[in-house]
Amino acid sequence: MPKKVIVIGSGPGGYPAALRLKELGAEVSIAESWDFGGTCLNRGCIPSKAFLDIGHRAHAFEGLRKLLKDGSGFSFDPGMLDWEKVKARRAGVVAQLRTSLEKLFQAKKIEVIRGRAAFSGPNEITVTGPQGEVKKTFDAAVLAAGTRPAFPPPFSACSGRLTDSDRIFDLPAKPRSLIIAGAGVIGLEFACFFNSIGTEVSVVEILPDLLAGSDPQVKRAVRSSFEKRGVKFYFGKKAERVEFSGGLKTVNLEDGTSLAAEEILVGAGRAADLNGMGLEKLGLAWDRKGVKVDEFMSTAVPGIYAVGDVNGISLLAHSASRQGEMAAENIMGARLAFDAGIVPNCVYSWPEVGTVGLTKEQAEAKGLEVKTSRAFHLGLGKALATGETEGFVQLVFSAADETVLGAQIVGGPATELIHLLALAVKLKLKRSGLREIIYAHPTMAEAIHEALLK
């Protein structure tokens, strides 16, 4: 008899798990309470990149003005942007990908049950949806329910009157001014987009700097770039209350500063979406960060696995996909362990940011002796030719044998280039090994070669 497995959630953790389980011969059912593809496809990675692409085009459009004859009057007017067309483009991209995914499940003959799943026993779930209640027994389960936007105080008291990273795509109009709470990846990407289309953007962050945990050089470069384009930051200041008056929303900070805007976007992280799932019936503990798992994605309850954002290890779609595939393999008898140290971290603003492995500070905190090497894009022929001179490549090596421990890239196609360095970290390549690669000229990848020569 094939092993019966239920997957809860069809996002980037759930659907790869279901597909791999089917390939390995399991009898697979997947429960989904919303649209196929989860947060990534419907409210996160893909729609935000559709927005950012429009913003990047606007940014480049304005840059072309420098090459025109004086008095041409050529410029990008944010007022020309049709907000409904912007939203329609995003919706079209999402719908196309969602339809393709649904057709793939049909072709693979994977059972899809629409509704909210809850454990009703150690080997049974109940899915409540349009079809009523459907009960399924299972031999193993993959929990891939994802997360929802978090609203810390004081925003929690008025969350219905604010927007978040789920609802921002459906704003009825482009805001003339926007306050963003949170200077992490979510906050910075939306700050970049809205700033590029003419919105006045202010970012409030309780921590002393942006991109918590990032290399100091990365933080400095990104902050400088954003500030030059007019984004205002308020670091190290706690928001104490939110007020509404005259069509504006005001955030009052602890130092007496008051910021008013048409919209407030709360991008202060996400919380595990596990309420009402009956985990207590399994004896499985959880909190806002999710369910604890071991390196094999297994929870404390045998046969129950948790992947993606819901386990809190790495809140990234590509981490979720790999974890989903690994959980599927492990359910079917393998023993694959997840290595968070080789996960690329990306920010899709401009400048882009791509990092992997350890920063200098993180390595030294582990007691490692390290050295770094950095090359700036300003010295590259391709960067000068394309006008993308912002940023750098920085490599972190073991001082003992020059093994690559980590890398940070700012600017250029950083989110693409970082994969080469992720491979170097994974394979424990040394500086000499990376230098043997022939880097095409002229390319932005030559910055890696230049850093190796320093």
Enzyme catalytic residues? 441
Q: Which residue has the tokens 């649209």?
A: 35
CB 247 within 8 A of CB 177: no
- Distance from chain centroid for Cα 288: 18
Question: Residue 120: enclosing H or E segment and its boundaries?
Answer: strand 116-121
Q: Can you say whether the dihedral through the CA atoms of 168, 205, 291, 27 is positive or negative?
A: positive
Preceding peptide of 154 cis, ω within 30°: yes
The DSSP code sequence of 313-347 is S---HHHHHHHHHHHHHHHTT------GGG--EEE
* DSSP at 17: H
Preceding peptide of 442 cis, ω within 30°: yes
The conformational region for residue 38 under phi > 0 = left, psi -120 to 50 = alpha, else beta, is: left
- Alpha-carbon gap, residue 406 to 422, rounded angstroms: 8
Q: How far is CA 235 from CA 89, 169, 208, in A?
A: 34, 26, 5
Phi/psi of residue 199, nearest 5 degrees: -80, 140
Q: In terms of Cα–Cα distance, which of 191, 209, 211 is closest to 201?
A: 191
- Alpha-carbon gap, residue 346 to 348, rounded angstroms: 6
- Alpha-carbon gap, residue 405 to 407, rounded angstroms: 7
